[in-house]
Amino acid sequence: MENVQELLPYIELESIEENIFRGKSHPFVGKRVFGGQVLAQALAAATLTVPEERVVHSLHGYFILPGDTSLPIVYSVDRVRDGGSFTTRRVKAIQKGQDIFVLAASYQLKQEGFDHQIEMPDVPSPDELLNDQELLEKFKDHLPENLSWGARPIEFKPVEIPKMFIPVAGEPFQNVWVRAKGTLGDDPRLHQQILAYASDYNLLSTALGPHPITIDKLQMASLDHAMWFHREFRADDWLLYHIDSPSASNARGFTRGSLFDQQGKLVASVVQEGLVRKRRKK
């Protein structure tokens, strides 16, 4: 995909019955559905059942089974509660009669309250950095032959050289500028769905920081994903994704991310744990 507009048909859902929706999958590496896609679609399904004046402030999801890109995904929404300030939804993503992903999301009316945040790290601006495709070309002679990716609807500009390009032991953190390629409209809920999609990138690779191993020798998969939306933002403007990995153990990597806009405003936080282990010999 060259532009985020090409992603939107895969985020938009078809209404089948009340509280039941269907989405299609875009091709990804291999036959498995990209975790960010099912996350964004499940969020879109929940959002379709919530009044427009309420926006999601937190979501928690579990990846249960790998999705099949050749099949549609059915989303069943449970309207848990409609309160005075908060609205709660549960969503099941289903393929072949089995749950492949479950999501809980909470929505809120805009309200006044206390306001503070942590500071954004001092890093180079995106204008000073190469994007992921340019880095792939620069380091192509040092990469495994089977490591490649097609055009993606999200652009990335890493501040540090990514682990996959230089497999040496380092620190368990990274900073990556991210934005949707092209422009989106002004619906804040769509920007949240696109950022949810993008937030699944770069997390688990951060857990590899202290470990000198190439990505082609690893098995990695997202297990759970949580996200909090703090302030308004645009997903088609550059956002700094500051990620660290406090722990890796028992074949799992634990990662955290903070997303800042270019003015230093903290707009969202992310936590993810995933399977990270050496690929088993067949």
Whole-number pLDDT of residue 279: 78
Single pTM value for the model: 0.92
76 is catalytic: no
> pLDDT class for 145, splitting at 50, 70, 90?
low
> Is residue 222 annotated as part of the catalytic site, yes or no?
yes
pLDDT digits (tens, 9 = 90+) for 179-219: 999 999 999 999 999 999 999 999 998 988 888 776 667 78
Q: Write out the H or E segment, with its range, that includes residue 8.
A: helix 8-11
Active site residue 272: yes
Look at residue 103 and tell me whether its pLDDT is greater than 90. Answer: yes
pLDDT tops 90 at residue 163: no
Q: Note the pLDDT of residue 208.
A: 86
Note the pLDDT of residue 146. Answer: 58
- Of 106, 174, 200, 261, the active-site residue reads 200
36 in Cβ contact with 197 (< 8 Å): yes
Each residue's pLDDT tens digit, 212-271:
776 667 788 899 999 999 999 999 999 999 999 999 999 999 999 999 999 999 999 999
Two tokens, residue 265: 């405003």
Q: How crowded is residue 128: how many other Cβ atoms within 10 Å of its Cβ?
A: 10
Distance of CA 173 to the CA centre of its chain: 17
Given the residues 193, 199, 222, 269, select the one marked as catalytic.
222
Amino acid at 97: G
